[in-house]
Amino acid sequence: MIIFVPLIILVVGSFMAKEIFWDSFLWRYFWAPVVADAEREPVNGISAGYNIVNTIIYGIILVISFFGIIELIRHFDISINKKFVYTLLPWVILGGSLRSLEDAGLFKSPLDKFMITPMIYFVLGFSAVFLMLIGAHLSRIEWDTDKSKYMGLLILTPLPFFYLFLGSFIEPFFISFIVVVLLFLSLTFLIGLIYLDLDEKYLFFTYGTTLLSISLSYNVYIILFRDSANPLEVVIITMLGSILTFLFLGFFWISGRVSLTGFKREYFEIFSRPLNLLICWAHLFDASSTYRGVTAFGYAEKHVLPEFLIEYTGPEILFVVKIVLILVVIYVLDILLEEDFSEDESLRSFLKFVIIVLGTAPAVRNTLRLAMGV
């Protein structure tokens, strides 16, 4: 309960002492940058982007949310493994896709404000956790008949309401995309239930993939029909990130076979594990997308630390920073603290998932934005 005390103080203070709590703090450091981002121009002298205050607070919220979700997962006895991480990936890509569509001006006010980082990730995170808990509850129910019938109904029912609610906030609104959505829905339901052997605990997989199919449909439409679009950027950035990942792993493979380097052969095996490989690719993909945006299109970094580093050293420094980050994270989680995590593998897996999100989400947003030419 103690974590809600600051929130209560801010809410009450915003009503009782508006100038101090709202005007000088919440508006200035948090909401105004979001509004400025949505409006594409400074608001009352406040520009879009991150500042040192909201960066620190968002970091604290991320840490608190991490441990809170871990406790919920443990309480409902949900296994955190590779399958769990893979089923959450559609939500990660969805965040980047929706954020890029906000850049393209697809959403109207006030929905556009909730498509701005980090608001969009609060919304998607809450939605994914909510569906995860619903699924965990359903998994405890004894089904009298074929559960797939009930699951199919549960998945299909919200779709018309989704279109009715969001239709007035989206421009342009293509009702024909519902055909695409239904196709993706059927496909993901079959994959999830039959081939991936997912149960109702992973209800969020189908919802996430369904929403992603809607979002990516708009991305593809804009990329294909917008005059200023740069569709090749998807290929260029993805290939650059993949090649760098291959070279990164190749370094460990070669070093493990050359005695003079002092590298152990098992390091290659550690870094090539599925989740570690995703960490490598996600963050090199992120660095590649930012590098292309800055060097080829004149975009500017909004995060405090990367902006500082780019300004004083150049955009190439991002690759160095990401490689160091990857080395430190994987070394700490899989080598230095191997014994500590041996009894709680779920904590390590979820921590890796969060690190994957921090690389993949901005990379997807940057890549799609460049491809759409916005």
Average pLDDT over residues 2-22: 78
Please state, as a whole number, how many other Cβ atoms lie within 10 Å of the Cβ of residue 104: 17
The Cα-based distances of 282 to 78, 93, 210, 248, 296 in angstroms read 25, 11, 22, 13, 21
Count CA atoms closer than 13 A to 74's CA, side-chain side. Answer: 11
Q: How far is residue 74 from each of residues 29, 63, 240, 317, 348, measured CA to CA in Å?
A: 35, 17, 38, 39, 13
Lowest mean pLDDT among 146-150, 267-271, 285-289: 146-150
Mean pLDDT of the chain: 82
Specify the 3-state DSSP secondary structure of 24. helix
Q: 245-249, 252-256, 317-321, 326-330: lowest mean pLDDT where?
A: 252-256
Over residues 8-27, mean pLDDT: 84
Q: What is the pLDDT of residues 207-248, one digit of tens each?
A: 888 788 878 888 988 998 889 999 999 999 999 999 999 998
Rounded Cα–Cα distance for residues 145 and 122 (Å): 36
CB 244 within 8 A of CB 280: no
The whole-number pLDDT of residue 160 equals 58
What does the pLDDT look like over 116-167, one tens digit per residue?
A: 988 999 999 988 888 888 878 777 776 655 665 566 556 655 565 565 556 6
The per-residue pLDDT for 117 is: 85
Distance (Å, whole) CA 65 – CA 92: 16
Q: What is the pTM of this model?
A: 0.86
pLDDT of residue 285: 96
Q: What percent of the chain has pLDDT above 70?
A: 80
For residue 177, pLDDT over 80 is answered with: no
pLDDT digits (tens, 9 = 90+) for 55-86: 899 989 888 888 888 888 888 888 888 888 88
Reported as a single tens digit per residue, the pLDDT across 342-355 is: 777 888 888 999 99
Identify the top-confidence range among 1-10, 43-52, 274-283: 274-283
Query: What mean pLDDT comes out for the span 173-182?
Result: 57
Residue 260, pLDDT above cutoff 50: no
